[in-house]
A and B are shown apart, each in its own frame.
Chain A
Amino acid sequence: MIDWEPIILTAKLALVTTTILLILSIPLAYWLATSTSKMKPIIETLVSMPLVLPPTVLGFYLLMVFSPGNTIGGWLLEYLGVQLIFSFSGLVIGSVIYSLPFMVNPIQSGLSSLPASLSEASYVLGKSRIKTLCRVLLPNIKPSLLTGIVLAFAHTIGEFGVVLMIGGNIPEKTKVVSIAIYDEVEALNYSNANTYSLLLFIITFVVLLTVYAINGGYLKRFWK
């Protein structure tokens, strides 16, 4: 029988990562959608890098940076008492960076697709930028928000390279499902590997199906 711990850990990682990403990505996507700064292409490139970069590259650099032997890692350990490598917090940071484009890109394109006159109308009604964002812009890009949330969640469930590099394979701490599968195959327990794999397959299928059904309006038609 399979161990449920990696599944719980994966769900926890995906939830925490998605929540942090949502909080981070809304201001970032808003800035990217509205800014005319010269820095914008550079920031856009950095946000999208995880789309093309092998996860091992990202994982490797995070491992280097957060190692207690390094300046930043050493400082974190000395002054905050946190060690990020081979820990759950390290996994969260890695996952946040790795799934950032999956959350930022849909929100950014959603915001860019809204006509400029919507925010202008709100400004001339005396409303601040923040109020405009919360009451006018975000409620009108709900499908983009949903897409971002679900893609980031599903992508975090599926990641392997970053997690392995930065977290290793510590049961109940960093051993997520994708690593458990690798582990079981290494140990020649193909049936356990199959159970884990099938589970991930079904979860990602259901999650993505839900998004497309809601955004495509299929569910609404069904309810009517």
Chain B
Amino acid sequence: MITVDIYKVLQAANGNIMLNIQLDIAKGQLVTLYGPSGSGKTSTLRMLAGLMPVDKGHISVQNQRWLCTKENINRSPQQRSIGYVFQEYALFPNMTVRGNLEFALEKRQNTDIIDELIAIVELEELQHRKPNTLSGGQQQRVALARALVRKPKILLLDEPLSALDIKMRSKLQDYIIKVHRQYELTTILVSHDIGEIMKMSDKIYCLEDGKIVKQGNPIDIFTNTRVSGKFQFTGEVIAIKKEDIVYVITVLMDQNIVKVIAQESEIIGLVIGDKVVVASKAFNPMLLKVEV
């Protein structure tokens, strides 16, 4: 549905990087662009939206050409029919929540969609408030709803949840999954939160220095397929401590902190901040019911 082949020289902090991205995204998929900052994730999204010029390449969506530098085709952002959610919300401060949504309406468009979207993101109570009186999570819900008013086929999310706390994040993720399914969207998400990617994405593109270095489904990318573990979790190393002959590695998984024993050979090259997979063969796991 979306095919992209773009090339651009980006000015980064440490010299120029050549961005060269090929994407092939099927209808209805939710894909993630993942990678360190400065790897070109946001730039890719901005070029898709038409907010940043492309040096060379083409973008086509549902057999319509949005960009083709060879034939001088370049649709403006206004003509691209996308929903775009910015990291910093970008709500219009002079309009109420409802006003922000109404502003997005097209001429002669049925206004029922406004109430529908306000109901989906549960903002009925807050619809007459100004954005600056809302919390970050509420503002991002408004931004999500506003991006969908014109019923776009494609939703672009630029690290939409990075400014929110973990609890709010997980709630927003549910909203995003909900609208993604309900409106049959094709969604491209920029994220560097592995938990979020595992939960939401069908496919992941790993970017490094403007190139795609790996792509596939998130479980294959983030877990080490050499181990046929029964339990597998990914997390981030937050401490490495030597105790007698073994090492105790503290790993942050989602919201849980877990301590794992490791041999010296396992921690070669491992530093704090690394992403790791914790896997267990688990021949005899204990199963306990949680009383609530």
Contacts and interface: CB of A to CB of B under 8 A. Distances in A.
Contacts of B81: 126
A165 B77 CA distance: 51
Counting contact residues on chain B (CB < 8 A from A), the size range is 20 to 34
Interface residues of A, number: 16
A123 B90 contact: no
Given A125-B146, A126-B150, A120 B93 contact: no
Interface stretch (A84-92, A97-105, A133-141, A208-216): A133-141
B77 A120 contact: yes
A115 B51 contact: no
Contacts of A123: 50-51, 76-78
A118 B49 contact: no
A70 interface: no
Contact of A118 (B80, B92, B104, B106): B92
B51 A120 contact: yes
Interface string B246-282: 0000000000000000000000000000000000000
Contacts of A124: 49-51, 77-78, 80, 82-84, 147
B94 A136 contact: yes
Contacts, number: 58
A121 interface: yes
A135 to B, nearest CB: 7
B231 interface: no
A45 interface: no
Contacts of B233: none
Given A139-B94, A140-B94, A121 B84 contact: yes
Contact of A140 (B88, B92, B103, B149): B92
B86 interface: yes
Contact of A117 (B50, B88, B103): B88
A40 interface: no
A118 B90 contact: yes
A120 B82 CA distance: 12
A34 interface: no
Given A136-B94, A139-B94, A121 B78 contact: no
Contact of B150 (A117, A120, A125, A135): A125
Interface string A104-136: 000000000001011011111111100000011
Interface of B: 49-51, 76-84, 86, 88, 90-94, 103-104, 106, 146-147, 149-150
Given A125-B104, A136-B103, 15 more contacts: A115-B90, A117-B90, A118-B90, A120-B51, A120-B77, A121-B92, A121-B146, A123-B76, A124-B49, A124-B84, A125-B146, A126-B81, A126-B104, A126-B106, A128-B78
A-B CB proximity, top 10 nearest: A117-B90, A121-B90, A139-B94, A123-B77, A124-B84, A125-B104, A126-B78, A117-B86, A124-B77, A140-B94
21 contacts: A117-B86, A117-B90, A118-B92, A120-B49, A120-B90, A121-B84, A121-B91, A121-B146, A123-B50, A123-B77, A123-B78, A124-B50, A124-B77, A124-B80, A124-B83, A124-B147, A125-B104, A126-B78, A127-B78, A128-B78, A135-B103
Interface of A: 115, 117-118, 120-128, 135-136, 139-140
